[in-house]
Amino acid sequence: MSDDNMIRILKAGKRYRIGSGEIEVLRDVSLEVKKGEFVSVMGQSGSGKTTLMNLIGMLDSPSGGIISIDGTDITGKSQKELVALRRRTVGFVFQQFHLIPSLTAWENVALPLIFAGKEDIGYVAAALGRVGLSHRSEHKPAELSGGEQQRVAIARAIVMRPKILLADEATGALDAATGSMIISLLRSLAGEMTVIMVTHNSELAKLSDRIVNLKDGNIEEKK
């Protein structure tokens, strides 16, 4: 354990109740990710990759164990505290982009600022500039290509200058060339922030600093 850890997970587990039974998605998972590190999480479908991302992103709570984000133990925190911590610490990029269709690229990127009650003093323009979409800011998602939509989603994820960027299958809905471009973008963001990327593509995963393999709810480090 070192002081420059951004994420520290110790024996975390996650069980879901389904009907009268329970399924264990993650079992005693322990993981440390350094500040600015770029980590890929790989694994078969159902291995618990998305669940792990949701736990790190504070969208879900562990059934057991300890999760610490930027030195703060998040287990046992109230929903309100988690929302506040999530706003300033974590940015999300999803496979399906998850942009709001009625809003322009600019407005979609501004959403986290609106919810945080933070005034936009050039944050949105900077984020769109960072992903190379300043010229498409007034376009709605339907008017953008898949790659552009994902870049808007990345701009939205980084507009609050989070310490952690979580990308769940961010290239899954894109062609190979566009996927590579998105990974390059994520690669360029690593260093400024900790990037954790879930992917099925081992070639793209090789571009990260470290690959974590999840199998049956447990972690196997690859590199």
Q: Which amino acid is at 16?
A: Y
User: Does 17 engage in binding with other proteins (CB under 8 A)?
Assistant: no
Taking CB under 8 A as the criterion, the residue among 22, 44, 72, 115 binding other proteins is 115
Provide the minimum distance between the beta carbon of 152 and other proteins in the complex, in angstroms, as a whole number.
12
User: Does 10 engage in binding with other proteins (CB under 8 A)?
Assistant: no
Give me the 116-155 binding string for other proteins, x by CB under 8 A, dash otherwise. Answer: x---x-----------------------------------
Instruction: Identify which range of 63-71, 115-123, 173-181, 187-195 contacts other proteins by CB under 8 A.
Output: 115-123
Alpha-carbon distance of 151 to 146, in angstroms, equals 9
User: Does 47 engage in binding with other proteins (CB under 8 A)?
Assistant: no
69-73 — which CB contacts under 8 Å span 24+ positions? 69/6, 69/7, 69/164, 70/6, 70/163, 70/164
Q: Cα-flanking dihedrals φ and ψ of residue 136, to 5°?
A: -110, 15
Taking CB under 8 A as the criterion, the residue among 30, 44, 72, 96 binding other proteins is 96
Question: What single string gives the DSSP state of each residue in 18-87?
Answer: ETTEEEEEEEEEEEEEETT-EEEEEE-TTSSHHHHHHHHTTSS--SEEEEEETTEE-TT--HHHHHHHHH
Binding site for other proteins (CB under 8 A): 50, 54, 57, 59-60, 79-80, 83, 86-87, 92, 94, 96, 98-103, 107, 110-112, 114-116, 120, 156, 160, 168
